[in-house]
């Protein structure tokens, strides 16, 4: 029996980017299915979040994510532009967001094709992999193609079905909260949350108790 888990994932989360290749390898090696459930970043979901955050956290996050990327052998740089437009000094996040809505809705549309995890991997590799102006030219189109998808077609769905995609995102965020955590990446198996890129081994351990098998 194929074991399934839900993956709550954000296009602004470096840790989401860093864990995704391992999640793909996990799915290739084991009889497991990842249900991709994109959510908006915490900067968008929680009003004023970055106005209250400890100022030591962002510098540590950058150091830690650089370390993890080096350990995993992944290219890494903070996105240019940032998927969430915000004032880094004040923490102010404007309501108008030109990038993150498109990305998150496209992630939902990709998940509905069954290619969600591959899409997350390829798109985040462009965003966090050191590609400047990743939103311009054919960067996203070529990344989507590597995942077996058509970015133009996804963009049409993003425009034509915005309301229904937003409803899915809202449902994902509600399910994430119900599982017992607010952060990403969050893997949830049989109601048990596993938060963070360093919890994949814990997820695998729990699934092995439930009969996880190699392919």
Choosing from 10, 13, 16, 124, which is the catalytic residue? 13
What's the number of CA atoms in the CB half-sphere (13 Å) around residue 152?
A: 2
Asked if residue 89 has a cis previous peptide bond (ω within 30° of 0), the answer is: no
Longest Cα separation, the chain: 50
Dist. CA 162–CA 156, nearest whole Å: 10
Beta carbons of 39 and 104 less than 8 angstroms apart:
yes
E-only strand ranges, the chain: 3-9, 32-38, 186-189, 192-195
Dist. CA 79–CA 14, nearest whole Å: 9
Q: What is the DSSP letter of 184?
A: S
Between β-strands 186-189 and 192-195, what pairing exists: parallel, antiparallel or unpaired?
antiparallel
Catalytic: 201? no
Q: Which residues are catalytic?
A: 13
């Amino acid at each position: 029996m194929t074991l399934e888990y839900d993956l709550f994932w954000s296009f602004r989360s470096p840790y989401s980017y860093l864990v995704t290749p391992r999640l793909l390898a996990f799915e290739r090696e084991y009889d497991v299915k990842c249900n991709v459930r994109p959510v908006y970043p915490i900067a968008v979901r929680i009003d004023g979040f970055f106005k209250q955050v400890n100022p030591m956290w962002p510098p540590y996050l950058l150091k830690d994510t650089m370390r993890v990327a080096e350990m995993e052998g992944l290219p890494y740089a903070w996105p240019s532009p940032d998927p969430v437009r915000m004032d880094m000094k004040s923490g102010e996040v404007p309501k108008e967001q030109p990038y993150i809505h498109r990305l998150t809705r496209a992630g939902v549309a990709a998940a509905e094709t069954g290619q969600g995890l591959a899409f997350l991997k390829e798109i985040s590799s462009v965003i966090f992999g050191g590609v400047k102006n990743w939103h311009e030219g054919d960067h996203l189109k070529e990344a989507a193609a590597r995942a077996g998808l058509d970015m133009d077609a996804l963009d049409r769905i993003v425009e034509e079905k915005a309301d229904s995609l937003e409803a899915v995102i809202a449902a994902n965020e509600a399910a994430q909260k119900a599982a017992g955590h607010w952060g990403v990446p969050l893997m949830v198996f049989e109601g048990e949350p596993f938060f963070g890129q360093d919890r994949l081994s814990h997820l695998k351990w729990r699934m092995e108790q439930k009969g996880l098998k190699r392919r």
